[in-house]
């Protein structure tokens, strides 16, 4: 059977644009053949190690998002990253308590927010939340915690408000023992991400919003290895004695 050609103009356009800019880039950098060969070997190690999603999410995803959204209204997206997991537990009752161990380490966090639309108020938005634990690890990936620890989904109320009870996330390092770490250190970067909460919003008639929340005063805000920080995604962590409080509002883009 012969394969029929199904042209996708986006593929050709993207490839031609890439080659055009690649030529300028190569004129500028003047790589020698040994450098090219070293790159090919590194890229091969990257693929074999399974780190292509990690590398692209850390070093490329933020630029894709920034290009598309920097001048548009609504909350700025930030990277999805490699630690998202579908089908997290559905939390029915507000305040929404993130699944956690009996003795979950870390500072208790009460987070309040509101989700609206570029068109105005918005009721009943689906929200997915995931974060690291007090050891800087993610359930389902590198944490010994049960699957879906500190992951959950819920729906905002009729005014778009929600309240989550969880723990305060901490800064963590991206994996450093493979080709991604090799690149990170060869470039002279550190491997830290500032503390953040991952959050995803879905509502009919609106573009899905995937973003992150960061905290003022974090040591790594300026030099986040993944470059995910945006001014509008920063909030204050307020000390309330036995817990911390933070708040941020989000605006989805109407389609």
Give least dist CB 96 to Fe ion, A. Answer: 19
Minimum CB–partner distance for residue 70 and Fe ion (Å): 21
DSSP state of 120: E
Which residues make Cβ contacts (< 8 Å) with residue 160, sequence separation at least 6? 114, 115, 116, 121, 122, 123, 125
Among 156, 173, 166, which residue's Cα sits nearest to residue 237? 166
Kindly state the DSSP code that residue 254 receives in the 8-state scheme: B
- Quote the least distance from Cβ 197 to Fe ion, whole Å: 8
CA dihedral 92, 97, 100, 101 (to 10 degrees): -100
CA-CA distances (angstroms) from residue 74 to 129, 145, 158, 197, 246?
19, 35, 20, 18, 20
Residues near Fe ion (CB under 5 A), total: 1
* Cβ count near 220 (within 10 Å): 18
Alpha-carbon distance of 68 to 76, in angstroms, equals 10
Taking CB atoms, the residue at the shortest distance from Fe ion is 81
Using an 8 Å Cβ cutoff, are 194 and 215 in contact?
Answer: yes
Residue 46 or 210 having the CB closest to Fe ion: 210
For Fe ion, give the closer residue by CB, 13 or 105: 105
Q: Which is nearer to Fe ion, 81 or 160 (CB)?
A: 81
User: Smallest gap, in angstroms, from Cβ of residue 212 to Fe ion?
Assistant: 7
Least distance from C-beta 198 to Fe ion, angstroms? Answer: 6
Q: Which helix (H) or strand (E) holds 200?
A: strand 196-202
Comparison of 59 and 117: residue with beta carbon closer to Fe ion: 59
Tokens 């800019």 belong to which residue? 21
- In the complex with Fe ion, the residue whose CB is nearer, 116 or 128, is 128
- Strand 196-202 to strand 192-193: parallel, antiparallel, or no bridges (unpaired)? unpaired
Nearer to Fe ion, 154 or 224 (CB): 224
- The DSSP 8-state label assigned to residue 76 in this structure reads P
**CB closer to Fe ion out of 81 and 99:** 81
Q: How many other C-beta atoms lie within 10 A of the C-beta of residue 73?
A: 9
Q: How far is the CB of 222 from Fe ion (least distance, A)?
A: 17
Q: At its nearest, how many Å lie between Fe ion and the CB of residue 202?
A: 19
Which residues, 63 to 102, sit near Fe ion by CB under 5 A? Answer: 81
Q: Note the residues at the interface with Fe ion (CB under 5 A).
A: 81
């Amino acid at each position: 059977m012969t394969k029929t050609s199904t042209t996708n103009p986006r593929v050709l356009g993207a490839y031609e644009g890439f080659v055009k800019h690649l030529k300028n880039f190569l004129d500028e950098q003047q790589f020698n053949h040994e450098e090219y060969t070293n790159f090919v070997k590194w890229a091969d190690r990257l693929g074999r190690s399974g780190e292509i999603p990690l590398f692209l999410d850390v070093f490329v995803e933020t630029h894709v998002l920034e290009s598309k959204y920097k001048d548009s209204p609504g909350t700025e997206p930030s990277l999805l990253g490699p630690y998202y997991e579908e089908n997290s537990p559905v939390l029915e009752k507000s305040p929404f308590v993130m699944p956690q161990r009996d003795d979950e380490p870390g500072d208790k966090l009460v987070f309040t927010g509101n989700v609206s639309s570029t068109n105005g108020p918005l009721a009943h938005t689906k929200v997915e939340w995931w974060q690291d634990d007090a050891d800087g690890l993610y359930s389902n990936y590198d944490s010994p915690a049960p699957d879906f620890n500190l992951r959950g989904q819920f729906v905002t109320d009729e005014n778009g408000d929600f309240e989550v009870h969880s723990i305060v996330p901490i800064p963590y390092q991206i994996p450093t023992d493979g080709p991604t770490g090799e690149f990170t250190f060869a470039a002279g970067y550190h491997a830290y991400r500032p503390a953040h909460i991952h959050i995803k919003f879905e509502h009919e008639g609106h573009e899905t919003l995937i973003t992150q929340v960061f905290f003022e005063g974090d040591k790594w805000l300026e030099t986040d290895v993944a470059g995910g920080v945006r001014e509008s995604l920063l909030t204050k962590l307020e000390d309330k004695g036995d817990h911390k409080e933070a708040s941020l509002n989000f605006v989805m883009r109407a389609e």
